Amino acid sequence: MMPTANQDETLLLHLNEAIATIRDKDQLFQIIARKLRLIFPFDMMGISIFDKELLNKRLFFKDYTTINPPEPVPANVGVFTPIAGSPVELLLQDPRIQHIALREYLRQYTDFEPFQRLLRQGIQYMTMVPMWLSGHLTGYLILSTIRPPAYSAADEQLLEKITSLVAVAVRNSLDFEEVARREQQRTLQLNVTNALLSIKQREPLFRAIAEELGQVVPFDYFGIRVQRAGQREAFEGFAEFARPDDDPSGALLVLDPNRHNHRHPHEIVDMYRQMSALLQAAGLYSGEDFRQLAVRYPAMRAAYDEHRVRAMLIVPIWQRPDGAAVLLLASPAPDGFTPDDLATVQALVPQIALALENLFAFEQIEELKAQVEQERTYLIDEINTDRPADGLVGTSPALQQVRQRIAQVAGTDATVLITGETGTGKEVVARALHQASPRHGRALVKINCAALPAQLIESELFGHEKGAYTGAVERRIGKFELANGGTIFLDEVGELPLDLQAKLLRVLQEKEFERLGGNRVLTTDARVLAATNRVLEDEVRAGRFRADLYYRLNVFPIQLVPLRERPQDIAPLVQHYLASLSKRLARPPRAIRPADMAALLAYAWPGNIRELEHVLEQAIIVSQGQWLEFGGFAAGPVAQALPPGPGLAIELLASPAAEVHYEAGEAPIKTLREQERDHILAALRRTGGRVSGTQGAASLLDINPKTLEARMKKLGIRRTVVAG
């Protein structure tokens, strides 16, 4: 029945009142739909809106009446899609009330899915009423019916009046949504800023950002990946969280950083490097679009398969010459995100970027503080060590050659391998090389690879994260990280286990490493000096040392000859140690008898300079009178006076030389070989024939057990156990 003029006015007044007082979008447009249904028969009502340029359209509201149950709404409903190529482009050519038959339009637009979907629900006809606002076309009010519509001219006039009110309602609703969205963004920005001010640790900060985002943008997976200048890894820092499968509404759980252990690290690097261009632009990928990404990119395939991701938001945080950062949100639902979600996350980018910058700055400050403290310890040790300018004492041709080799290589960053018997001064040479290099302003960091258990060497070299192993209660910076910009000295490098040799090789080749228990790839600009008393060529042949590591270390070898082969240096060394040790031990300086000096010059010194230092230190401690007392050392090797150990006899394969006694002032006539043999025999007698271990002769002589065994074999010394 045709409504009267009074009914028209009443309807328009009711609609005006509803538009002015009701702010809830769904409630308002459901009221509009009910009022319209009292006058015009229809089976479905919809409102489609356009952008300002009339290039894109999206469904703003849909209301079903007689169709029940309605067909599921597709994922792209509510998302702007192009007008070009759709029946709407025909409506724009003649924007007036039009009554259309869907099948006629489908002859020209056979693939237009929305019309196909309406036909499946029985809809055959649509009445399209243009919405005008301030002279601009903003969309269409759509009344859909199963049967052909019958509208008079008066009906169409009333529809146009109602549609003008609907256009106002749509504009108000969009404005209210924008205000609410901006208020939501401000709240988020404030919360993220508060987190920035109060949280200075990586995981808690990322978790706070994720939880705040989760209040307004539902997601199941959150990730931030960061690449900074100087990092060879695709992304050196990251945070990733996921909701537990058994409780999708539960708190975010941190993902295991080692979950990609089945992949080689370089494979993971390549996965993210392949999609670097994709991560440079903001995007919303859902349904079929995301499946195509999973086909194209292995990293997306991993998300598709391992986390059942079907929709993803990609939002770059920064993209600049010094690095990049990107935020990823993912959902298992194909329609998990909307363009509004993308806009919400993009609005937070400045706060997230500032949070990351502050976090990294704080971490750098903490690392620098730890490094300065470590360097302070090393520098104090250097200051308190009394030694000559280059630390090398002596004038022998062999020592002059070492000085020449140091001068040749000091100005470069070449790796140096220092070899020689125990006690020949390999650390002194390393210190002299560092002091002569351009890196002398930074610390020389030293580590003895034989002084620590195998399980602790990796932590000492590369550091560890908190909780990396039992007892790791805090993060520790490793020696390679500490030596960045300076020099690291690896003493007894031949003692490294094979598995650590591979990691050391990586540092030498790539200048990168990881802390124990960590997943960040760190880089170091440390110059490497290594030392060993082993013959590494023999160790390589025996399979105890990697050949590739040996060649990397042996770039510039420096060989130190034993003290017995450079007797010219003994007297200068004696004078140096007498002065420094007397000062350190707070004892008055004492003179040395000529006979004692002659004995020191003639002795073979199997323990080399270290043994000489220990002998002099013992003499300074025990001496009381005017002269330095060596406790029988000068009258013959001190070990000769020691009784043999119980149950053990020590034989010489070669005939022992006749023992000769000397008067005071006479020079000994024993050969260096005989002196060395006698000294080793005395040490073996004292230790009961034991060579290695804490109570062995090697420890007593301060010499490597393998070196001692080699000297015994060369000198013809063997041990024979005697019963009783």
Phi and psi dihedrals of 74, rounded to 5?
-70, 165
Q: Show which of 294, 328, 361 is a domain's final residue.
A: 361
Does one domain contain both 549 and 585? no
Give the chain's mean pLDDT. 78
The answer on pLDDT for 125 being more than 90 is yes
Cβ(141)–Cβ(166) below 8 Å: yes
One domain, residues 390 and 435: yes
Q: Are residues 355 and 398 in the same domain?
A: no
User: Regarding predicted confidence, which is higher, 673 or 138?
Assistant: 138
Cis status of the peptide bond prior to 69, with omega within 30 of 0: yes
Which pLDDT score is estimated for 638?
A: 37
Higher pLDDT, 686 or 635: 686
CATH code at position 555? 3.40.50.300
| Separation CA 489–CA 491 (nearest Å) | 6
Going by DSSP bridges, is the β-strand pair 125-133/283-286 parallel, antiparallel, or unpaired? unpaired
Q: Are residues 579 and 611 in the same domain?
A: yes
Residue 721 has pLDDT above 50, yes or no: no
Using a 10 angstrom Cβ sphere, with 0-12 exposed, 13-18 middle and 19 or more buried, the burial of residue 43 is buried
How high is the pLDDT of residue 383? 52
- In the sheet that holds 283-286, the strands lie side by side as 253-254, 237-242, 221-228, 323-331, 311-320, 283-286
Could you tell me if residue 676 is inside a domain? yes
pLDDT at residue number 334: 87
Q: In this model, does residue 301 exceed pLDDT 90? A: no
Side-chain half-sphere CA neighbours of 674 within 13 A: 13
* Token pair belonging to 113: 């899915």
185 is a domain residue: no
Predicted local distance difference test score (pLDDT) of residue 202: 74
Q: How many CB atoms lie within 10 A of CB 639?
A: 20
Q: Is residue 659 part of a domain?
A: yes
Are 310 and 334 in contact, with CB atoms under 8 Å apart? yes
Looking at residue 29, its pLDDT comes to 84
Residue pair 398/562 in contact by the 8 Å Cβ criterion: no
Sole residue written with tokens 């939002």: 315
pLDDT of residue 430: 93
Return d(Cα 553, Cα 415) in angstroms, integer: 6
Spatial contact of 332 and 310, defined as CB atoms under 8 Å apart: yes
- Maximum distance among all Cα pairs of the chain, rounded to whole angstroms: 146
What is each CA distance from 607 to 477, 532, 669, 696, 711, in whole angstroms?
34, 15, 21, 14, 11
- d(CA 133, CA 664) in angstroms, rounded, equals 122
Instruction: Judge whether 168 and 19 are in contact, CB under 8 Å.
Output: yes
Give yes or no for a contact between 337 and 313, defined as CB atoms under 8 angstroms apart. yes
Q: How far apart are CA 667 and CA 577, in angstroms?
A: 23
Q: Which pairs with CB-CB distance under 8 Å and at least 24 residues apart come from 665-672?
A: 665/594, 665/595, 666/595, 666/598, 667/598, 667/602, 668/598, 668/599, 668/602, 668/636, 670/602, 672/564, 672/602, 672/603, 672/604
For residue 65, is pLDDT > 60?
yes
Share of the chain above pLDDT 70, in %: 79
Look at residues 542, 561, 580 and tell me which one is the last residue of a structural domain.
561
Residues 284 and 411 both lie in one domain: no
Query: Could you tell me how far CA 471 lies from the centroid of its own chain?
Result: 22
Residues 206 and 334 in one domain: yes
Who has greater pLDDT, 388 or 597?
Answer: 597
Beta-ladder partners of 167: none
Do residues 337 and 320 both lie within one domain?
yes
What is the amino acid identity at position 240?
E
Domain stop point among 546, 561, 576: 561
The enclosing domain of 42 has a CATH number of 3.30.450.40
Q: Answer whether residue 634 shows pLDDT above 80.
A: no
CA–CA distance from 443 to each of 46, 349, 390, 391, 483 (Å)?
74, 40, 16, 16, 7
- Residue 512 clears pLDDT 80, i.e. is over it: yes
Residue 664 located in a structural domain: yes
What is residue 672's three-state secondary structure?
A: helix
Closest CA to 387 of 118, 539, 175, 583: 583
Q: List, for residues 16-46, the tens digit of each pLDDT value.
A: 887 777 777 788 888 888 888 888 888 888 8
User: Does a structural domain hold residue 627?
Assistant: yes
Q: Tokens 């025990």 sit at which residue? A: 622
Task: Clarify whether residues 66 and 124 are in a common domain.
Answer: yes
> Residue 632: left (phi > 0), alpha (psi -120 to 50), or beta?
left
HEC string of 140-206 equals: EEEEEECCCCCCCHHHHHHHHHHHHHHHHHHHHHHHHHHHHHHHHHHHHHHHHHHHHHHCCCHHHHH
Nearest CA among 483, 516, 503, 481 for reference residue 548: 503
Tokens matching residue 24 = 């809830």
Sign, CA torsion 662/668/674/679: positive
CB atoms within 10 A of CB 634: 25
Q: What angle do CA 522, 529, 366 make, to 5 degrees?
A: 35
Annotate 84-98 with b (16+ C-beta within 10 A) or e (fewer): eebbbeebeeeeebe
pLDDT tier for residue 549 given thresholds of 50, 70 and 90? very high
Within 10 A of 368 (CB to CB), how many other CB atoms are there? 10
8 Å CB contact between 71 and 175 = no
**Is 571 found in the same domain as 543?**
no
Specify the DSSP class assigned to residue 43: S
Instruction: List C-alpha distances in Å: 285 to 328, 347, 640.
Output: 11, 19, 86
* Helix axis angle, 339-347 to 153-198, nearest 10°: 30
Domains held by the chain: number:
4
Residue 475 has pLDDT above 60, yes or no: yes
| 183 part of a folded domain | no
The token duo for 474 is 């805090």
Q: Is there a single domain that holds both residue 410 and residue 528?
A: yes
Please give the Cα distance from 659 to 203 (Å, whole number): 75
User: How much is the pLDDT for 108?
Assistant: 86
C-alpha 272/C-alpha 268 separation (Å) is 7
Q: Distance between CA atoms of 507 and 461, rounded to whole angstroms?
A: 11
Task: Tokens 């073979």: give the residue.
Answer: 604
Range of the domain at 122: 5-178
If 0-12 CB within 10 Å is exposed, 13-18 middle and 19+ buried, where does residue 435 land?
middle
Q: Clarify whether residues 655 and 527 are in a common domain.
A: no
**pLDDT interval class at 661 (50, 70, 90):** very low
Q: What is the pLDDT of residues 347-401, one digit of tens each?
A: 888 888 887 888 778 877 877 777 676 666 655 555 555 455 557 888 899 999 9
- CATH number of the domain that 590 lies in? 1.10.8.60
Q: How many H helices and E strands in the chain? A: 25, 23
223-274 pLDDT, tens digit each: 888 776 544 444 444 556 665 554 555 555 555 444 444 455 555 556 667 7
> Quick check: is 689 in a domain?
yes
pLDDT of residue 413: 92
Q: Is 538 helix (H, G, I), strand (E, B) or coil?
A: helix
Q: What angle do CA 452, 455, 456 make, to 5 degrees?
A: 50
pLDDT above 90: percentage of residues in the chain: 17
Q: Does residue 210 sit within a domain?
A: yes
CA dist., res. 51 & res. 661, Å (int): 113
Q: Check whether residue 499 and residue 633 sit in a common domain.
A: no
Of the listed ranges 191-200, 233-242, 653-662, the one predicted with least confidence: 653-662
